[in-house]
């Protein structure tokens, strides 16, 4: 069973409500939870994303907790966990649609952000705005809000890259119409709603502290943290956040979103202007300091010769400072004997290999976890003709036990 890709989730109830390419497989998560835990156990995902682990735990009849720092993604996750009667959702959706159709179709205004004007026809944008106003008028039910979020990309004429970024200069062949797509989405959601889901709580919080999670309360951590591979989670939902007015321009993403996240992309460390020496002196990275210093100094040297001057050297150092803090937080919340599974990938910025799994295992060991096994999931960076370097990469499950 494939662990790491969200693709199969497109066919799974509830998981299929919102496509998050950073997500992992719900079927795999559910199988692991069933195999490794029983009904009285609590499962935590400290990087919950769109709540794949939490939904999987619910479907397996377990109690689940999640932590997610990205405000928009956390709202999606919470919406997915909202209990609702399917008939009530259908009725509310029909009434929203009727209300939206009765609203005047206002001309798309020049004041709309440029990204939206480039991504939608004026009619599609006007209809999406009518749907939004009708949902707001009904008290913004989380599932109706999510249905609107979920159709935004299908109704956009702009292309989307495999990694979810929006490419307004690439046009799509098939573009959905908002008043057709919205009822299709709510019908799909109603069909998936089932009674008797176990409780699951999503905290908008920071995995580096897990402040909202009680001491020794967790039996299994099942998660996938950001990889230090320069993927910008803030940018991943830019279209949606722009539609809802959370951001207007690309630069707003840092203050609203990116600065709350683990530092795993160079845009983050560039904006924060970090000093490499300070990061390497941080006591959290003491267990890997020598090896980390070698890699970061190599990156700093290569950077000097590159036109883009990407801040990979501070990105890698800051990433491990942050992940070391995550291990300390997890050591507090996982009960002795409890298990952790991290789905993780290594990386090679500027072609310099960073042994992410090995360093994470060493940081975890220092925090009180014993690494028990790894399982390779897939090889990465082997297919693309235009890849930037030839370093073979892999993705794996890293399993550990909290020492007693
Ligand atoms: C690889 S994704 C996990 C996706 C998840 N497994 C799913 O299926 O949706 C990593 C997630 O960690 C979140 N994240 C980044 N920094 C965080 C932090 N400091 N605390 C909690 N979540 C964080 C990102 O916003 C992203 O949603």
pLDDT by 10-residue block (mean), the chain, 404 residues: 69 92 91 97 98 97 97 98 95 98 82 92 96 96 98 91 70 92 97 88 98 98 96 93 95 96 95 96 98 98 92 97 98 98 95 96 98 89 59 92 97
**47 CA to middle of ligand 1, Å?**
4
pLDDT for 388: 65
Superfamily of domain 7-81+199-402, CATH level 4: Vaccinia Virus protein VP39 (3.40.50.150)
Q: Is 339 helix (H, G, I), strand (E, B) or coil?
A: strand
- Pocket test residue of 226, 268, 395 for ligand 1, highest count of atoms within 8 A of CB: 226
CA-proximal residue: ligand 1, atom 7 (nearest):
23
Domain boundaries, the chain: 7-81+199-402, 86-192
Q: What are phi and psi of 195, to 5 degrees?
A: -80, 165
330 lines ligand 1 (CB under 6 A): no
Ligand 1 centroid–CA 22 distance in Å is: 8
What does the pLDDT read at residue 161?
Answer: 64
Ligand 1 atom 8, closest CA: 23
Closest residue (by CA) to atom 26 of ligand 1?
Answer: 49
User: Is the beta carbon of 49 within 6 A of some atom in ligand 1?
Assistant: yes
Contact 315, 303 (CB under 8 A): no
CB distance 67 to ligand 1 below 6 Å:
yes
Burial of 48 (0-12, 13-18, 19+ CB in 10 A): buried
CA of 149 from ligand 1 middle (Å) equals 18
Instruction: Tell me how far the alpha carbon of residue 48 lies from the centroid of ligand 1, in angstroms.
Output: 5
CA 332 from centroid of its chain's CA atoms: 23
Q: Which of 16, 20, 22 to mutate to test the pocket of ligand 1 (most atoms within 8 A of CB)?
A: 22
Pocket of ligand 1 contains residue 235 by CB under 6 Å = no
Long-range contacts of 153-161 (CB under 8 A, 24+ apart): 153/19, 153/239, 154/181, 155/120, 155/124, 155/128, 155/181, 156/119, 156/120, 156/124, 156/239, 157/119, 157/120, 157/121, 157/124, 158/118, 158/119, 158/120, 158/239
Full strand arrangement of the beta sheet holding 393-402? 200-204, 63-68, 42-45, 218-223, 334-345, 393-402, 369-380
CB neighbour class for 163 (10 Å; exposed up to 12, middle 13-18, buried from 19) = exposed
The number of CA neighbours under 13 Å toward the Cβ of 302 is: 16
- Rounded to the nearest angstrom, the distance between the alpha carbon of 226 and the centre of ligand 1 is 6
- Give, using CA atoms, the residue closest to atom 13 of ligand 1: 47
Residue 207 CB less than 6 A away from ligand 1: yes
Q: Per-residue b/e over 164-175, b at no fewer than 16 CB within 10 Å?
A: bebebeeeeeee
Measuring CA to CA, which residue among 193, 187, 230 is closest to residue 91? 187
The Cα 209–Cα 379 span in angstroms is 32
Whole-number Å distance, alpha carbon 87 to ligand 1 midpoint, is 32
Q: How far does residue 179's CA lie from ligand 1's centre (Å)? A: 32
**Distance of CA 223 from the midpoint of ligand 1 (Å):** 9
Q: What is the pLDDT, as a whole number, of residue 330? A: 98
Is any atom of ligand 1 closer than 6 Å to the C-beta of 24?
A: yes
| Pocket flag, ligand 1, residue 262 (CB < 6 Å) | yes
Predicted confidence at residue 7, as pLDDT, reads 73
Q: What is the pLDDT of residue 379?
A: 79
Token pair 């990469």: residue: 393
Residue 315: closest CA among 351, 263, 275, 366:
263
Please calculate the CA angle 13-17-19 and round it to the nearest 5 degrees: 115
Instruction: Indicate if ligand 1 lies below 6 Å from the C-beta of 257.
Output: no
> How far is the centre of ligand 1, averaged over its atoms, from the C-alpha of 174 (Å)?
31
52 lines ligand 1 (CB under 6 A): yes
Q: What are phi and psi of 235, to 5 degrees?
A: -70, -25
């Amino acid at each position: 069973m494939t662990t790491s890709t969200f693709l199969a989730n497109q066919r799974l109830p509830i998981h299929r409500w919102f496509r998050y390419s950073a997500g992992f497989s719900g079927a795999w998560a559910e199988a692991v939870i069933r195999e490794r835990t029983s009904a009285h156990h609590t499962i935590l995902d400290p990087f919950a994303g769109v709540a794949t682990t939490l939904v999987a735990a619910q479907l397996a009849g377990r109690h689940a907790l999640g932590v997610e720092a990205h405000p928009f993604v956390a709202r999606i996750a919470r919406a997915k966990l909202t209990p609702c009667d399917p008939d009530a959702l259908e009725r509310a959706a029909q009434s929203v649609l009727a209300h939206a159709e009765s609203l005047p179709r206002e001309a798309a205004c020049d004041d709309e952000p440029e990204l939206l004007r480039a991504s939608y026809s004026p009619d599609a944008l006007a209809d999406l705005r009518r749907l939004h106003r009708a949902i707001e008028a009904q008290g913004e039910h989380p599932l109706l809000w999510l249905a609107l979020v979920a159709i935004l990309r299908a109704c956009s004429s702009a292309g989307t890259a495999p990694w979810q970024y929006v490419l307004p200069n690439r046009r799509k062949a098939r573009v959905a119409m908002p008043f057709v797509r919205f009822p299709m989405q709510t019908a799909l959601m109603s069909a998936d709603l089932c009674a008797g889901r176990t409780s699951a709580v999503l905290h908008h919080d920071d995995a580096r502290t897990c402040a909202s999670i009680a001491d020794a309360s967790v039996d299994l951590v099942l998660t996938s943290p950001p990889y230090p591979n320069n993927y910008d989670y803030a940018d991943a939902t830019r279209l949606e956040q722009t539609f809802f007015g959370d951001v207007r321009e690309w630069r707003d993403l840092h203050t609203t979103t990116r600065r709350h996240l683990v530092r795993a992309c160079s845009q983050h460390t560039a904006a924060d202007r970090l000093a490499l020496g300070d990061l390497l002196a941080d006591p959290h990275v003491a267990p890997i300091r020598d090896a980390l210093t070698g890699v970061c100094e190599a990156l700093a040297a290569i950077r000097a010769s590159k036109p883009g001057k990407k801040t990979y050297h501070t990105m890698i150092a800051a990433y491990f400072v942050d992940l070391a803090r995550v291990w300390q937080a997890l050591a507090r919340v996982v009960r002795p004997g409890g298990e952790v599974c991290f789905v993780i990938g290594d990386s090679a910025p500027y072609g310099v290999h960073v042994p992410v799994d090995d360093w994470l295992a060493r940081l975890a060991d220092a925090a009180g976890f014993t690494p028990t096994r790894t399982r390779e999931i897939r090889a990465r960076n082997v297919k693309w003709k235009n890849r930037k370097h030839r370093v073979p990469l892999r993705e794996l499950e890293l399993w550990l036990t909290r020492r007693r």
